[in-house]
Amino acid sequence: MESHPEFWINIGITYAKDPQTRDFVLSKFLDAPLGICLTVYCHIRPAFVNHGAMIRPILIHPDPRLKKLCEPVAEITSELRQLAGDMLETMYDAPGVGLAAPQVGVTKRLIVMDCIKDGPPEPMALFNPEVVWASEDLSTYEEGCLSIPEQYAEVRRPAEVTVRWTDLDGQVQERHFAGLWATCVQHEIDHLNGKLFIDYLGPLKRQMITRKMEKLKRERARE
């Protein structure tokens, strides 16, 4: 999920050099007129501290890989932990607040997200996430997507959800989400089912955005 423009600007990550530490430093440079530089310290699980993490290319809509139903993860392997680390690196660099594996061309049921706007980051990796409860109350949020850059539209979703998933250690977790977290986790789970936020829009708006993305891809191909 693409973060709204006022949330994040030019985020860069520097991981702690000591592999035993549970802390890494997220250096966030704001390309603002005042030249503000903000450094935020974050407490994070050792499995996320990945010195070999790399930024992966993000698929741009329309792409058939974004419409596929993703496969469940049977076992949390070192390769999948590497993928989770790469996805977090890619998400922060974009910048965004969520990213799903199919957006980097991997059809596995894995999402990462961090919806903290102010304060220490809270990166999460969720394997096989599923919504086990959703509120009847709905909320409307202006969503964006890293696979549909710089396009935003209001989407109505349950205001609160409870999600169950498997973590990096293979343990089953369950958590209640509300606000932006609830919107983001539902948005990313949609990706695992081949659904984009523009699929909630009317056909004319959806076609307009798709044409813009087709033009963007042609322009990038010529670069």
Catalytic residues: 188
The radius of gyration computed from the CA coordinates of the chain, to the nearest angstrom, equals: 17
- C-alpha span between 96 and 88 (Å, rounded): 9
DSSP class per residue in 105-163? T--BSEEEE---SSSS---EEEEEEEEEEE-S-EEEEEEEETTEEEEEEEEEEESEEEE
Burial class (CB in 10 A: 0-12, 13-18, 19+), 216: middle
- C-alpha span between 105 and 144 (Å, rounded): 19
- The neighbour count for residue 174, using CB atoms within 10 Å, is 11
As given in the structure block, the two tokens for residue 31 are 């390309």
Q: Do residues 125 and 112 touch, judged by C-beta distance below 8 A?
A: yes
